[in-house]
A = this chain, B = another copy of it.
Amino acid sequence: MADRMDELDRKILLQLQKDTTPSIEEIARSVGSSKTPVWNRIRKMREKGIITREVAILDADALGFEACFFVLIRTSEHDAGWQKAFLKALRERAEVQEAHRLAGDIDYILKVRVPNARAYDVFYQALISEVKIHNVTALLSMEEIKSTTALPL
Q: In the complex, are the beta carbons of B152 and A94 less than 8 A apart?
A: yes
Complex copy number for this chain? 2
Q: In the complex, are the beta carbons of B58 and A55 less than 8 A apart?
A: no
A58 to B104, CA, bound (A): 27
Q: In the complex, are the beta carbons of B100 and A144 less than 8 A apart?
A: yes
Query: Among B2, B64, B72, B148, which residue has its beta carbon within 8 angstroms of that of A63?
Result: B2
Q: In the complex, are the beta carbons of B97 and A150 less than 8 A apart?
A: yes
**Minimum CB–CB distance for A34 against chain B, Å:** 20
- Among A53, A64, A95, A142, chain B packs the most CB atoms within 10 A around the CB of A53
A142 to B139, CA, bound (A): 21
Q: In the complex, are the beta carbons of B57 and A97 less than 8 A apart?
A: no
Q: In the complex, are the beta carbons of A63 and B153 less than 8 A apart?
A: yes
Contact digits for A1-43, partner B, Cβ 8 Å, 1 yes 0 no: 1100100000001001111110000000000000000000000
CB pairs A–B below 8 angstroms (14 shown):
A17-B56, A17-B58, A19-B55, A20-B54, A48-B62, A51-B59, A54-B54, A70-B100, A91-B146, A100-B143, A101-B141, A103-B140, A104-B140, A106-B139
